[in-house]
């Protein structure tokens, strides 16, 4: 833990290991042989071509992306995907797009989808018993609900194309990419700085789009131009490459998944044991990335925030619509930070009992 980062439980944008931050900072000062900064190099240079292809290769290796899938780097955040998905895959179609409503971000996606075609929504609580109609254009879900602190641990078996917003848990655990027609993720949690969106899509699904689209909203344009149709977010892609190299060196997604499970387990155990605190998400759906909880006596909330801040624990205030606390346990957060939070919960509770 460095002096500047403290114990950062913030939900983003972007939690990166100190070594990656240092490498990125060095590259801003001086990167290529001519002494140029990474910010100054041409995105058409062979050097940047190597960076973007290396980043793609790391994504493919770490997530076991099948060969018939494209790996694309876009801009506009996950929020642009909320409209790009229906623009491509339901616009003009008589078919209904089915959306799982897991909360805040799922609802934003639903709002955009309604602008382009018919939408049916499934409430999160019904999701385990619901059957997706075989005639649907696609099924859209959010694998991790960053704000509510719930996560999907299984995905529906369906012949319908499955599209998933994995913004806040991609690279945190192994996923079977072949089960999805398209995955998207704003990079800024476990991948790299804000400014880049990762899309992984099955080529035949992309080729099923027959209507004309503006170039910047057409996935095939990114695919056919190697994500270099226009100026890409060079620094975001470069830093994501450094971060994925860090993840690979560390042991890859399987190893980080075990660490993430241990971190979340330690925190949930303390929340369940401690009579002062209470978890907010249903036990079976508890996210391993964003732990939401509250203090039973709400009047103590600001006191706990002060107590935690004095111990260098930052970013634990809950999202405004949910309240309480949220501790984000992204890949780069070390176990020692979770221990520090667990100790704070315990010590604060003991102080109250005095």
- Identify the CA nearest to 127 among candidates 146, 145, 147: 145
Q: Which stretch binds ligand PLP (CB under 6 A): 17-25, 41-49, 53-61, 71-79?
A: 71-79
Tokens of 337: 């930070």
- The answer to the question of whether 44 is labelled as a binding residue is yes
Q: Which of 17, 77, 149, 161 binds ligand PLP (CB under 6 A)?
A: 77
Binding mask 166-185 for ligand PLP (x = CB under 6 A): -xx-----------------
The CB-of-197 to ligand PLP minimum distance in angstroms stands at 7
Q: Which residues pair with 294 in a beta bridge?
A: 278
**Which residues of 280-339 form beta strands (DSSP E)?**
290-295, 313-314, 325-328
Is 96 strand, coil or helix? coil
The CB-of-141 to ligand PLP minimum distance in angstroms stands at 10
Residue 233 lies near ligand PLP (rule: CB under 6 A) = no
Residue 314 CA to residue 306 CA, distance in Å, equals: 10
Q: Which of 7, 12, 152, 162 binds ligand PLP (CB under 6 A)?
A: 12
For ligand PLP, the closer of residues 57 and 216 by Cβ is 216
Q: How many helices (H) and strands (E) does the chain have?
A: 10, 14
- The answer to the question of whether 205 is labelled as a binding residue is no
- In the chain, % helix, strand, coil (3-state, to 5) comes to 40, 15, 40
Is residue 183 within a helix (H) or strand (E), and if so which, with residue range?
strand 182-186
- The answer to the question of whether 116 is labelled as a binding residue is no
The answer to whether 113 and 99 have CB atoms below 8 angstroms apart is: yes
Q: Which stretch binds ligand PLP (CB under 6 A): 14-22, 76-84, 121-129, 273-281?
A: 76-84
The CB-of-354 to ligand PLP minimum distance in angstroms stands at 39
- The answer to the question of whether 188 is labelled as a binding residue is yes
Q: How far is the CA of 139 from the CAs of 9, 173, 183, in angstroms?
A: 32, 21, 12
- The answer to the question of whether 165 is labelled as a binding residue is yes
The CB-of-63 to ligand PLP minimum distance in angstroms stands at 17
Q: Which residue has tokens 């934003």?
A: 108
For ligand PLP, the closer of residues 89 and 184 by Cβ is 184
Window 295-334: residues binding ligand PLP (CB under 6 A): none
- Identify the CA nearest to 104 among candidates 60, 147, 48, 42: 147
Q: Which of 78, 181, 281, 289 binds ligand PLP (CB under 6 A)?
A: 78
The CB-of-105 to ligand PLP minimum distance in angstroms stands at 4
- Identify the CA nearest to 177 among candidates 167, 191, 166, 190: 166
Binding mask 126-165 for ligand PLP (x = CB under 6 A): ----------------x---x------------------x
Residue 79 CA to residue 85 CA, distance in Å, equals: 10
Residue 186 lies near ligand PLP (rule: CB under 6 A) = yes
# chain residues binding ligand PLP, by CB under 6 A = 11
Could you tell me where the DSSP H helices lie in the chain?
18-29, 46-63, 77-89, 104-113, 203-207, 219-224, 234-250, 252-273, 301-310, 335-353
- The answer to the question of whether 178 is labelled as a binding residue is no
For ligand PLP, the closer of residues 70 and 146 by Cβ is 146
- The answer to the question of whether 230 is labelled as a binding residue is yes
The answer to whether 13 and 188 have CB atoms below 8 angstroms apart is: yes
Binding mask 22-61 for ligand PLP (x = CB under 6 A): ----------------------------------------
Binding residues for L-glutamate: 44
Binding residues for pyridoxal 5'-phosphate: 78-79, 105, 146, 165, 188, 230-231
Q: Which residues bind ligand PLP (CB under 6 A)?
A: 12, 77-79, 105, 142, 146, 165, 167-168, 186
């Amino acid at each position: 833990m460095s002096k500047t980062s403290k114990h950062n439980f913030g939900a983003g944008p972007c939690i990166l290991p100190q070594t990656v931050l240092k490498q990125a900072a060095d590259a801003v000062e001086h990167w290529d042989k001519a002494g140029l900064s990474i910010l100054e190099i041409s995105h058409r240079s062979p050097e940047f071509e190597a960076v973007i292809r290396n980043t793609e290769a790391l994504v493919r290796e770490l997530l076991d992306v099948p060969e018939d899938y494209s790996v694309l780097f876009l801009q506009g955040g996950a929020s642009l995907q909320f409209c790009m998905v229906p623009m491509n895959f339901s616009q003009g179609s008589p078919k209904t797009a089915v959306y799982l409503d897991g909360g805040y971000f799922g609802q934003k996606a639903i709002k955009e989808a309604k602008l382009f075609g018919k939408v049916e929504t499934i409430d999160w609580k019904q999701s385990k018993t619901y059957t997706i109609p075989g005639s649907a254009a696609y099924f859209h879900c959010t694998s991790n609900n960053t704000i509510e602190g719930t996560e999907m641990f299984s995905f529906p078996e369906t012949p319908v194309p499955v599209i998933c917003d994995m913004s806040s848990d991609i690279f945190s655990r192994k996923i079977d990419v072949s089960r999805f027609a398209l995955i998207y993720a704003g990079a800024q949690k476990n991948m790299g700085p804000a400014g880049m969106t990762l899309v992984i899509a099955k080529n035949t699904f992309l080729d099923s789009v027959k209507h004309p689209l503006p170039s910047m909203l057409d996935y095939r344009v990114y695919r056919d131009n190697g994500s270099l149709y226009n100026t890409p977010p060079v620094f975001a892609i470069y830093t994501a490459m450094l971060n994925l190299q860090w993840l690979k060196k560390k042991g890859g997604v399987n190893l980080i998944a075990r660490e993430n499970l241990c971190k979340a387990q330690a925190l949930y155990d303390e929340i369940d044991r401690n009579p002062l605190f209470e978890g907010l998400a249903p036990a079976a759906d508890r996210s391993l990335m964003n732990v939401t909880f509250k203090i039973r006596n709400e009047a103590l909330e600001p006191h706990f925030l002060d107590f935690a801040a004095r111990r260098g624990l930052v970013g634990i205030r809950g999202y405004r619509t949910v309240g309480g606390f949220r501790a984000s346990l992204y890949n780069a957060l070390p176990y020692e930070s979770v221990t520090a939070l667990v100790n704070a919960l315990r010590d604060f509770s003991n102080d109250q009992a005095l």
